[in-house]
Amino acid sequence: MFRYFLGALFLLMSTSCALIAQEKSALKDTVAQQDVNDIFRILFKKKTDTTLKKTSSLAVLPTIGYTPSTGFMFGADVAVTKIFGNPKTTTISIFDAFGAVSTNQLALIQLKHNVYSEANQWYLEGSWEFGKTVVLDHGISTGKDDPGISPIKYTYAKLYENIYRKIFDNFYAGAGLAFNYYTNIDDERENSAKSKTRNHFYSVKNGFPTYGYTASGLSVNLLYDTRDQPFRAYKGVYINLSLRSNRKWLGSDQNATQLKTELRKYWSLSRKNPEHVLAFWLWGSYLLKGKIPYLELPGTGSDSYQRMGRGYTIARFKGPSYFYNELEYRFPITANKLISGVTFFNMQTANNQSRTRLFDYWEPGGGAGLRILFNKHTRTNLCLDYGFGNGSNGVFVGINEAF
């Protein structure tokens, strides 16, 4: 089992060697920027606050959305950034809180954090999420005709914490604990033998309760990160490997071992305007042994901020193993950098427990979007994207880049 972990590490490190060799010296924007705060001061003739600390920021984004399954959803996203040390040697940290309620009596709360200590000696990454939600289920794997939508409403709690220690420059090793609990799954029938929901059949086949289940495990993690900024990078590379083991003695309904891999690479295309960026993202999750619950299957939107697979709904494609890649071009639109734009293209593939193997079929997606700069010192921005895919489209809203 561990040889898969080492093999994936070697593959990703080898892939990135050529990319890292192309890294340029530190980029400095030579064109003046204006963010929302600057525009506010100009419009209302407010004086510039020379005491403003550039090492922290606060952004509040009201949100509203609608889908036939959730109804109208109202919420707010609060993002706080801060540097806990010397800005020259310490990466900026981010705390994000999101809450929302819908007219269909759905609700969720998400608390996420990425914290770097002085000189990046320690890195703490975590997420606490609770809610009652619905997923529009299309079944398992890619490359087949749409079998129709089966909404699954459920209550859940998802918690994970990873802690890393710097081993040498830009390289970290660490461990993590994850606990995911699903209950009140609404696809039960009075006569369960006649239930045709995919969650029911998958759960019965793999030995999981159909009304709720738990996936809890420990992980061993390796991280390599040379990005100049964690949530809107102009340059650098990010590599993360995680070997997770779900165990019954930790509360899981079944034992399972998964390998998760991630690679992000950023190229700035201009010294004068470093916001011209070509960004590349690879994300994969592979079931090496055991079984995982239906609602735990990796797929569209499985990343921590659920931004993967723009153009499709969350969990549109999924499987025991899943692979995703995306290429995005980012560019300024206005001369003052207040408004920027992106274009993106992505592809995803997933297997099932029968004949469809990983990489047999690919599902494409793409789109374009706008960025509004909230804080030029921390690069905090509002993202408005329109994405489309195979028989699917939608508007996606968030704070900071998708990756």
Fold of 2-47+132-156+165-399: Porin (2.40.160)
Closest Cα to residue 226, out of 19, 11, 8, 9? 19
**pLDDT tens digits, residue range 258-280?**
999 999 999 999 988 999 999 99
Residues 6+ apart with CB under 8 A from 114: 93, 94, 123, 124, 125, 230, 231
Question: Which residue, chain included where needed, has tokens 């880049």?
Answer: 401
**pLDDT tens digits, residue range 143-156?**
877 667 888 999 99
Share of the chain above pLDDT 90, in %: 58
Residue 376 has pLDDT above 90, yes or no: no
Residues in the chain: 403
Closest Cα to residue 239, out of 19, 7, 13? 13
Can you give the residue ranges of every domain in the chain? 2-47+132-156+165-399
**pLDDT tens digits, residue range 163-205?**
999 999 999 999 999 999 999 998 644 445 555 688 888 999 9
Query: Of 67-81, 184-198, 250-264, where does mean pLDDT reach its minimum?
Result: 184-198
Specify the 3-state DSSP secondary structure of 13.
helix
Give 90's DSSP letter: S
Specify the 3-state DSSP secondary structure of 371.
strand
Most confident of 1-5, 40-44, 150-154, 369-373: 369-373
Strand partners, 344: 328, 367
Closest Cα to residue 319, out of 363, 282, 281? 363
Q: pLDDT confidence of 218, banded at 50, 70, 90?
A: very high
DSSP secondary structure, 343-368, as one string: EEEEEEEE--SSSPPTTS--EEEEEE
Q: pLDDT confidence of 340, banded at 50, 70, 90?
A: very high
Integer Cα distance of 381 and 232 in angstroms = 9
Integer Cα distance of 359 and 87 in angstroms = 43
146/157: higher pLDDT: 157
This prediction's pTM: 0.85
